[in-house]
């Protein structure tokens, strides 16, 4: 299916690994140009590799999205030469690194970085990019949330709460920006083998009694069988495919929606 995205430019945050990187590859395969941001200092080398592989223009930057001035400055520098962005895909996020069941195992201080990155990072991207998209009277936002933002997952309460906030703010944006022809949607993965998912296991493992500890593979297999009706991992590529579709004109009547790519997890829950 030709999604009609060739030649358009996509800003992707969290693009150095996981779903962000899979999204970069998926858009590149559609012939898109890319602007890739990540906090990892590996981002420039990853971008060069992708540009060589797909033979497309790719710009990149090492970015702390909590730093509003840095976001503004890098975006302004990119667009000052007349280059435009048609689509924004925001994947950057962190977990608390703590196993949060029950939540009183955590301290309020354990929430701060997760809230800053996952909520304020999204807010900063929205505020910086929206005027540009309005000026060009077109565009889409796709925000990566999580099924944890819909079901009150006890694993990492700061992460779950931040993902619920992402879903809600995306709906606010969709309503506000609809008159400008800008669509805003959220994609929620379930169980995906990403560095973030592995960190959830590590936090659980560190707090579990020694007799109950499981390897990452065993822990994940047990969780998948208990909570995912399709009974298998979702891949980063599965999620990226939905992100690309929602950014295309094939989804021209889809806005303000929360789309789960979760193997049926929320339905089952």
- Find the largest Cα–Cα distance for the chain: 60
Q: What kind and span of H or E run contains 34? A: strand 33-38
For strands 33-38 and 258-261, give the pairing. unpaired
Which domains does the chain possess? 9-268 (3.40.50.720)
Per-residue pLDDT, 108: 96
How far is it, in rounded angstroms, from Cα 104 to Cα 111? 12
Whether 117 and 96 have beta carbons less than 8 Å apart is answered as no
User: Burial of 200 by CB count in 10 Å (0-12 exposed, 13-18 middle, 19+ buried)?
Assistant: buried
The set of long-range contacts for 74-78, using a CB threshold of 8 Å and a minimum separation of 24, is: 74/37, 75/128, 75/129, 75/132, 78/35
DSSP letters of 72-96?
Answer: HHHHHHHHTTT----EEEE------
Which one, of 138, 25, 15, 123, lies nearest residue 87 by Cα?
138
Where do the H-state alpha helices sit in the chain? Answer: 18-29, 43-54, 68-79, 112-115, 121-135, 148-151, 157-177, 195-207, 216-227, 236-247, 265-268
Cα 2 to chain centroid distance, Å, stands at 24
Alpha carbon distance 193, 102 (integer Å) = 24
User: Which regions in the chain score pLDDT beneath 70?
Assistant: 1, 268-269
Threshold 0.75, pTM exceeds: yes
- pLDDT confidence of residue 269: 63
Q: What is the residue-wise DSSP string for 48-71?
A: HHHHHHHT--EEEEE--TT-HHHH
Angle (deg, nearest 10), helices 18-29 and 236-247: 50
């Amino acid at each position: 299916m030709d999604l009609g995205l060739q030649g358009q430019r996509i800003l992707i945050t969290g693009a150095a690994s996981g779903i962000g990187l899979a999204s970069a590859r998926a858009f590149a395969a559609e012939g898109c140009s890319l602007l890739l941001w990540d906090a990892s200092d590996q981002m420039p080398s990853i971008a060069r590799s992708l540009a060589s592989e797909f033979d497309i223009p790719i710009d990149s930057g090492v970015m702390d999205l909590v730093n509003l001035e840095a976001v503004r400055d890098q975006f302004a520098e990119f667009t000052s030469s007349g280059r435009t962005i048609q689509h924004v895909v925001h994947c950057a996020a962190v977990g608390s690194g703590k196993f949060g069941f029950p939540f009183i195992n955590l301290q309020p201080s354990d929430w701060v970085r997760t809230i800053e990155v996952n909520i304020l990072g999204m807010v900063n991207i929205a505020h910086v990019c929206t005027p540009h998209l309005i000026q060009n009277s077109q565009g889409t936002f796709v925000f990566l949330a999580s099924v944890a933002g819909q079901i009150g997952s006890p694993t990492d309460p700061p992460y779950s709460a931040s993902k619920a906030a992402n879903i809600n703010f995306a709906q606010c944006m969709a309503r506000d920006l609809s008159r400008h022809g800008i669509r805003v949607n959220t994609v929620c993965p379930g169980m995906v083998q990403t560095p973030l998912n592995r960190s959830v296991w590590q936090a659980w493992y560190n707090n579990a009694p020694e007799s109950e500890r499981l390897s990452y593979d065993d822990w994940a297999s047990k969780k998948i069988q208990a909570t995912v009706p399709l009974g298998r991992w979702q891949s980063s590529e599965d999620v990226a495919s939905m992100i690309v579709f929602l950014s295309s004109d094939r989804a021209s009547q889809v806005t303000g929606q929360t789309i789960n790519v979760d193997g049926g997890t929320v339905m089952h829950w």
